[in-house]
A = this chain, B = another copy of it.
Amino acid sequence: MKKKPLILVTNDDGITAPGIRTLIKVMNTIGEVVVVAPDSPQSGMGHAITVDATLHCRKEHIDNGPQIEYSTSGTPADCIKLARHEILDRVPDLCVSGINHGSNSSINVIYSGTMSAAIEAGIEGIPAIGFSLLDYNYDANFSPSEPFIKTITLNVLNNGLPKGVVLNVNIPNLPKKAIKGIKVCRQAKANWVEKFDKRQNPQGKDYYWLTGKFVNLDKGEDTDEWALKQGYISVVPVQFDMTAHHFIQQLNSWSLNEE
């Protein structure tokens, strides 16, 4: 690549979260960086977009890096749309989202604001990667991730991604030496078994907190869950054509058009 690539950075934990600050640092070693990220945490927002409220956008100076930064009042998907259509004057060569504070492996991809930003970029035709570290702490140690994130990013810039595919990268919470390498995986067929913590407010009215336990019954050794357990970084190619193509033929045999 002759010119420095233009890299759009976002996340769902908010523009000041340590995860995105690490990601910006790594991206500054690769390209020209523009950050457009939520002004406050947006975790669990899934692929929400703001259709019934106004959006605000503000230029920010958070550290002394060479990147240009904007915070917005929107969701991660909103950030991508705003960046692409209002802030940037050319299409970015890459979009990276994260580093999320916590896992987005397996079914979590569905609930993930981090991945919704990557998917939104993919829909816009921008090669995109979501990065997540398996540590929910605000003060998680992101530095072991840095060289791996750089390797994956350079691979995407060099090889490109097919239309309709983005990458979901999850990083185990391990010291650098203990990370065994990078594994291409499929999304494990796992899910959350919810439990609601039912409480009463001071006025005696019931309310709930959502809690749950992650249950993985998928025994495959080609899944993201397996790779992460073994100490690998998982890379799952993710598509946003959600059609269950394998079921179309059988569905056509149903009696949908009989009186």
What residues of chain A have their CB less than 8 Å away from a CB belonging to chain B? 41, 43-52, 54-57, 77-78, 81-82, 84-86, 107, 109-111, 116, 119, 123-124, 151-152, 155, 159, 162, 164-165, 181-182, 184, 186-187, 189, 191, 194-196, 198-199, 205-210, 235-245, 247-248, 250-252, 254-257
Contacts and interface: CB of A to CB of B under 8 A. Distances in A.
A228 B244 CA distance: 19
26 contacts: A44-B51, A45-B46, A46-B46, A46-B47, A46-B49, A47-B111, A49-B210, A57-B206, A85-B195, A86-B208, A107-B240, A109-B242, A123-B191, A151-B256, A152-B256, A162-B250, A181-B256, A182-B257, A184-B248, A186-B241, A187-B243, A237-B247, A237-B248, A238-B242, A239-B243, A240-B242
A84 B194 contact: yes
Contacts of A41: 52
Each complex incorporates copies of this chain amounting to: 2
Contact of A244 (B238, B247, B254): B238
A51 B46 contact: no
Contacts of A159: 254
Chain A interface mostly:
mixed
